[in-house]
Homo-oligomer: A and B are copies of this chain.
């Protein structure tokens, strides 16, 4: 059997083992073409099948209506921070941002270069321990859009229910896309770098409502205009073909698991192991997030002091637990339990946490 680490990386992150095995099997000779999938022309029939299969699967798994486009871009979530205001922050309008963590702040910062912005709500003063609830959607009626970050990778908080926004709702779902069933129609634009729940880094998925796309500014450079991707099935220029291929395999895997509903059930069970280890530790472990805002994707917690934290991380490493150090900006510990992280890994981590607590 293959040596597998317990991979709790925050992104790039774990990829399902059967997906890696299939990619390995056909890496040199894809479907008897005598070529690797990465050697195929992006204009070939064989590649277009891979490309369109990824789109079809995402539509099916997320129940995306025909009134939306599914696009593949490059540049990660970070380039979206600029592309969104570049395309949708119209002159004379205001873009509204709800700040729930470091990534929302970065998204806001880029928007400021393109026009008027407003922080509708923020939990910064509470050290981003919860999703802001203290705002009204009444007075944003004329805004360009409302931007939220559905899962806060660094702080370990997550939205439970999404706002019903009177203006186009844009969501950064980089770290929780496809983790549970959602109603896509609440959103005008959803974006996510693939490297957490969807596969490897190098491709960004954008799901955009067609009638919202029609409102985009037109004086945008070709490669930074969403229309370019929509009009060319994301094949205007050479797409990151291998990353899209991996995405297609990950989506096949999600489907084989029984779809997003099953994935969600799994994710709930996985997170429960670890949150239970925290909650039953008599205060040895403390969750960063308040209970109502706990993330099922990134579980952040602290130990009584720096010394114990270091010892915990060291012993974890010796047992092949990878990626448990908290983000350099907040410290502590973080376990990222994305879709591809197996239940066994979470159970093993919970057991180790309890064992470590008992011995320290």
Name which of A79-87, A179-187, A283-291 contacts chain B: A79-87
A322 touches B (CB below 8 Å):
yes
State the oligomeric state as a number of copies.
2
Name which of A15-23, A140-148, A262-270 contacts chain B: A15-23
Q: CB distance A201 to B78 under 8 Å?
A: no
Alpha-carbon gap, A44 to B12, bound state (A): 10
Alpha-carbon gap, A23 to B28, bound state (A): 9
Give which listed residue, B2, B33, B78, B201, contacts A240 with CB less than 8 A: B201
Q: Give residues 1-48 of A contacting B (CB, 8 Å).
A: 2-5, 7, 9-15, 17, 20-21, 23-24, 27-29, 32-36, 38-42, 44
Alpha-carbon gap, A34 to B77, bound state (A): 27
Chain B residues with CB under 8 A of A44: 9
A223 touches B (CB below 8 Å):
yes
With A34-B320, A74-B76, A76-B237 as known contacts, state yes or no: A40 contacts B27, CB within 8 Å: no
Alpha-carbon gap, A74 to B15, bound state (A): 22
Chain B residues with CB under 8 A of A201: 38, 42, 238-242
Chain B residues with CB under 8 A of A199: 38
Size category, A interface:
35 or more
Q: CB distance A15 to B39 under 8 Å?
A: yes
A280 touches B (CB below 8 Å):
no
Q: CB distance B242 to A200 under 8 Å?
A: yes
Q: CB distance B12 to A41 under 8 Å?
A: yes
A297 touches B (CB below 8 Å):
no
A219 touches B (CB below 8 Å):
yes
Residue from A42, A243, A320 with most neighbouring chain B CB atoms (10 Å): A243
A193 touches B (CB below 8 Å):
yes
Q: CB distance A78 to B237 under 8 Å?
A: yes
Map CB proximity to B onto A152-189 as digits: 1 under 8 Å, 0 otherwise: 00000000000000000000000000000000000000
Residue from A34, A38, A246, A323 with most neighbouring chain B CB atoms (10 Å): A38
Cβ-closest chain B residue relative to A27: B24
Map CB proximity to B onto A51-93 as digits: 1 under 8 Å, 0 otherwise: 0000000000000000000000011111101100010000000
Residue from A12, A32, A110, A243 with most neighbouring chain B CB atoms (10 Å): A12
Alpha-carbon gap, A284 to B81, bound state (A): 55
A313 touches B (CB below 8 Å):
no
A127 touches B (CB below 8 Å):
no
Minimum-distance CB pairs A-B, first 5:
A202-B240, A5-B34, A74-B74, A82-B221, A78-B237
Supply 17 A–B pairs (Cβ within 8 Å), ascending by A.
A3-B32, A5-B35, A7-B39, A9-B41, A15-B39, A23-B27, A27-B27, A42-B201, A74-B79, A74-B240, A75-B79, A78-B223, A79-B223, A113-B221, A202-B202, A202-B243, A243-B243
